[in-house]
Structure 1
Amino acid sequence: MARISLQHRRTAFVRAMEWYSRRKYGEVLSPGKVALHNKGVLRTMLLMEGTAARWNRLDPTLRALAGMVASTEIGCSWCMDFGFWEHHHRGVDPVKLRAVPQWRDSDVYTDLERAVMGYAAAATATPPTVTDEQVERLRRDLSEEELVELTAQISLENYRSRTNAALGLTSQGFKETCELRPA
């Protein structure tokens, strides 16, 4: 259960934010409801997310796997749920997304994907446990531009996951909508 109220006075601003969220995602996102308590935080969050959405150097599957590993390591069920939904709708293989919690034992990943996931786990550890060998392994397949974007993506997911987990936000059922089969 959320550790902060998800309810707000029905101001025009709140109604506009809810309308936007429903239009874009089908429902009002819990992290948005939390951020509505502090407009400065909300504004920064929206600016950061809007800017990060334009990062485009890293392969979408690598981006998805890195972010979902960070969410798994932190234990953010909200981020895992929404991440599955978001990346599924962007064309990332759902088999790979589903296997993230057991990525170390799964055979669905390429060597590069596995290296990215190991890097994400090491970067998420507190303190980070990234090694020179991990970075050198990634540099064989990724440009410096891609490696910087990968690291920033992992850091952004750490911000999201740590915030959501600390505030007690849990799954909103997004993943289940991906599992529905057309009639």
Structure 2
Amino acid sequence: MPRITGVTTKQAGPLLRTVYWFARRRYGAVPEPVTVVAHHRKLLIANGRHELAVERASQALPANVRELAVYRVAQQLACSWCVDFGTMLQRHGGLDIDRLKEIDNYAESDAYSAGERLAIAYADAMTTNPVSVTDKQVAELKDAFGEKGVIELTYQVGLENMRARMNSAMGITDQGFTSGDACRIPTP
């Protein structure tokens, strides 16, 4: 149960009902973080615009690299909601979610490519406190994905750090988008 109860559909005005309809249509359910942020209309709108803009702009990296790095942040910060939702997004994106079981052993696992290993290690380095990113890491990522790829990866990992920390602070936990290896929410 979140520390601030989300706004229900019954309590929602016309704009919020539209947001909820869009979310249900896209994800099969309204994400609980949306219902909590709905208490602050201007931040809800700003967040929605930002998330859509970031999604549209993120074209430099292969989806598997981006999603694995984002997932790793969620896992490292123990945001069960983000892990749950991220697994669903990967499944719906046609990515192999079975290999997520091996992410703690990514450096040695054959389930991950060299580029994926670099991105996961970078996500780890960006998520530590203090941040432990090295010049060598950035140079290797630049060789693998180019400057735009490094910027996109950095932005996505930073954004997931914010999401995971907000959800954890608000007490938002997994919502049931996944159950074990199988997604309970059908592909929209």
TM-score (norm 2): 0.88
What residue is the counterpart of 2:116 in the other structure? Answer: 113
Q: Quick check: 6-15 or 84-93, which moved more?
A: 6-15
Unaligned 5+ runs, structure 2:
none
How much has 1:21 moved relative to structure 2? 1.4
Using the TM superposition, give the Cα deviation of residue 40 of structure 1 relative to its aligned residue in structure 2, in angstroms.
1.2
* SS in structure 2 of the partner of residue 141 of structure 1: helix
The question of 1:3 aligning with 2:3 is answered yes
CA contact (8 A) 1:115 1:134 kept: yes
Compare 136-145 and 51-60 and name the one that shifted more.
136-145
Tell me which residue corresponds to 1:179: 182
Deviation at 1:180?
Answer: 5.8
Match of 1:99 among 98, 102, 122: 102
Structure 2 contact 142–149 (Cα < 8 Å) conserved: no
1:109-158 Cα deviation digits (max 9, x unpaired): 12221111000010111221101111122122110011111111101111
Asked if 1:27 corresponds to 2:63, the answer is no
1:149-180 CA-to-partner distances (Å, cap 9, x unmatched) read: 11111011111111111111111111229616
How big is the alpha-carbon RMSD for the aligned residues of Structure 1 and Structure 2? 2.1
Q: Distance in 1 between matches of 2:31 and 2:94?
A: 21
Task: Name 1:12's counterpart in structure 2.
Answer: 14
Q: TM-score, normalised by structure 1?
A: 0.91
Give, in angstroms, the shift of residue 104 of structure 1.
4.7
Residue of structure 2 aligned with 1:166, choices 146, 169, 173: 169
Deviation per CA, 1:77-130, whole angstroms, max 9, x where unpaired? 000000000111111112233433553564311222111100001011122110
Quick one: structure 1 residues 104 and 2, their matched pair in 2 at CA, closer, same or farther if it must change by over 3 Å? farther
CA distance in 2, matches of 1:104, 1:121: 12
CA contact (8 A) 1:73 1:121 kept: yes
Shift in alpha-carbon separation, 1:180–1:169, aligned structure 2, 3 A: closer
**Alpha-carbon contact 2:74-2:82 (below 8 Å) kept:** yes
1:140 aligned partner: 143
Q: Distance in 1 between matches of 2:121 and 2:77?
A: 14
CA deviation string 1:32-83 (max 9, x = no partner): 0011000111011101101011111110000011101111111100000000
Equivalent pair of 1:115/1:138 in contact (CA under 8 Å): yes
Q: Which amino acid in the other structure matches residue 29 of structure 1?
A: P
Q: Distance in 2 between matches of 1:168 and 1:137?
A: 37
Structure 1 portions without partners, runs of 5+: none
- What percent identity do the matched residue pairs reach? 36
Of 152-161 and 3-12, the range deviating more from structure 2: 3-12
Partner of 2:88: 85
- Over 3 Å counting, the alpha-carbon distance change for 1:26 and 1:178 in structure 2 is farther
